Structure 1
Amino acid sequence: MRVLIDSRWDADTGIGKLYREVMARAPAYISPTFVQSGMGLGNLLTPLMLARQIRMHNDADVFYSPSFMPPLYSRIPVVFTIHDLMHLFYYTRWHRLYYQQVIARLAAKADRIITVSQFSKGQLVDLLGIDERLITVVYNGVDDRYRANGDIYESDAPYFLYVGNRRKNKNLPAMLTAFARAAVPLDFQFFLTGNSDGETAVLVEQLGIGNRVRFLGHVPEENLPALYRGAHATLFVSLMEGFGLPIVESMAAGTPVLTSTAGPLPEVAGGAALCVDPHDIGAIAHGMEVLATDSDRHGQLKAAGLDRAAQFTWADTAARTWEVITDKRRK
């Protein structure tokens, strides 16, 4: 089968990770060709460019993209992934209009849409009006390098870990505020990936926790497993996600997780994480206190997390993705 693939998403991002894992496990009967374009990923003309690419590759049997930009039109079946609908909530008005008036209309023409959680599927149906019969849920996986046996990051103090960016949906200010209020031993640190930025740095100083917060800068993926293993717990109390990969990465490493009751996070956690209201600073702080002081609860969450993380593998993700791409039973 000849599959035309939008390979522009091959990068050090969550979508790039999915792309690489799926491509690394392509069935032997797949003959891939790739979109040839230097157009930026967020370019509004991407649907038109992809339509032209499909027309140029006249021997392709199906088009696949690991992310949300579909072609404007296509003579062959189209399969693509919509990870979340963050553009409708946390981006500009123009992003929202583009998603509603362009992406939603084009998505309805696709032969199959993949999404990464039942929550995201529900949003696609309810907010974009996409026929649920077009949507298949395929969970993300977790790399074997995150499993519990491996190097451990050495720190001179216990630390909570946050892995992610600083977008509003990540709820980082609430986590930092809760950390400042939590009745946890004062030697506990708050480690977060990425460099210090103005807004976060000001908040940290206002909260009086400048000596307890450490910005780790860019952390290469190969160093993340040890960082998770060294943490006392991982904090991922987001307002909204499509999936929440740090939850299963941390669980696989044997580190308990404090996460949110919002979006798909309880679905992904599967009862193996401590879930709190992301809008309630007191609840977030109490969650930190439990993880820092209740050794029995900490141990229970560690064991439950290991079991839960074992259910998420990239081999399964790739196999299910290729099943959807190559499915002959199309609309």
Structure 2
Amino acid sequence: MATAQPAELQQARSRGIELELHENISDKSLAEFYQNASLTVYCSVAEGFGLPIVERVMAGVPCLASRLGSMKEIANQLGACSLVNPFSTSEIATAITRLLRNHYELAHLTTEARQARWHTWSDYCEQIMDFVSSNTKNYPYPKIPE
């Protein structure tokens, strides 16, 4: 995970940007941050599944996310996300500004986040059983030789 360097933090502060850097926080602290957030940003270029997006949306907070690979798929399944090119800092900045200024759009995404549902293990089990039964009902079980 890349983190901001002291020089980058100082540069942001010199421009009047208030920034705090929190690393290795507890799950309880993370939950508190989510409770107080209006929007989260996750513009990774190399995420295998998109779990951070699921985590943020399931906490009831919209996410500005990368439109690459699995992150786009997860965001589209969950809703409550706005997608951007993670290689374009101007597109990311424009999207953050748009979402924070457009209260209607942010409220819509927040409602989607609070209503979002993710699959449970029971859901997966049911899907597997449905798949197996629908793909085996036309095939007789093989006879086992004695």
* TM-score after normalising by structure 1: 0.34
CA distance in 1, matches of 2:85, 2:74: 16
Is 1:305 the counterpart of 2:113? The answer is yes
Q: Quick one: distance in 2 between partners of 1:313 and 1:274?
A: 24
What's the secondary structure of 2:65's corresponding residue?
Answer: strand
What's the counterpart of residue 231 of structure 1? 37
Instruction: Quote the residue 2:7 is aligned against.
Output: 202
Tell me, in whole angstroms, the C-alpha distance in 2 between the residues paired with 1:226 and 1:204. Answer: 23
Q: Distance in 1 between matches of 2:43 and 2:37?
A: 16
- Aligned counterparts of 1:227 and 1:314: Cα–Cα separation in 2: 27
Task: Indicate yes or no: 2:28 matched with 1:222.
Answer: yes
2:47 maps to 1:247: no
Higher helix share: 2
- Candidates 239, 264, 267, aligned match of 2:70: 264
Q: Mind listing any 5+ residue stretches in structure 2 that lack a counterpart?
A: 130-146
Opposite residue 40 of structure 2, the aligned amino acid is T
**Alignment deviations for residues 258-312 of structure 1 (CA, whole Å, 9 cap, x no partner):** 111112111001143010111111110011112211110001111222333x123
- 1:37-79 per-residue CA deviation (whole Å, 9 max, x = no partner) reads xxxxxxxxxxxxxxxxxxxxxxxxxxxxxxxxxxxxxxxxxxx
Which structure dedicates a bigger proportion of its chain to strand?
1
Percent of matched pairs sharing the same residue: 28
1:295 aligns with 2:76: no
Alignment of 1:1-331 (within 5 A): 165-166=1-2, 200-207=5-12, 208=14, 212-270=18-76, 271-308=79-116, 310-313=117-120, 316=123, 319=125
**1:83-112 per-position Cα deviation (integer Å, ceiling 9, x unaligned):** xxxxxxxxxxxxxxxxxxxxxxxxxxxxxx
- What runs of 5+ residues in structure 1 fail to find an aligned partner? 1-164, 167-196, 324-331
Q: Distance in 2 between matches of 1:211 and 1:272?
A: 27
Structure 1 CA distance for aligned equivalents of residues 15 and 119 of structure 2:
36
Deviation at 1:229, TM superposition (A): 1.6
- Name the amino acid aligned to 1:261: R
- The answer as to whether partners of 1:256 and 1:302 remain within 8 angstroms in 2 is yes
Distance 1:225 1:303 in 2: 18
Q: For the structure 1 residues 314 and 229, does the alpha-carbon distance in structure 2 shift closer, same or farther, using more than 3 Å as the test?
A: farther
Distance 2:106 2:17 in 1: 25
Secondary structure class of the residue paired with 2:92: helix
Find the aligned partners of 2:115 and 2:17 in 1 and give their Cα distance: 36
Change (3 A) 1:209 1:231: farther
Q: Specify the code of the residue in structure 1 equivalent to 2:119.
A: F
Q: Secondary structure at the match of 1:231?
A: coil
Q: The residue matched to 2:40 in structure 1 has which SS?
A: strand
4+ runs of 1 displaced by more than 4 Å? 314-317
CA distance in 1, matches of 2:106, 2:121: 27
The CA deviation at 1:218 is: 2.1
Tell me if structure 2 keeps the 8 A contact 1:248–1:312.
Answer: no
Following TM superposition, by how much is the alpha carbon of 1:316 offset from its aligned partner in structure 2, in angstroms?
4.4
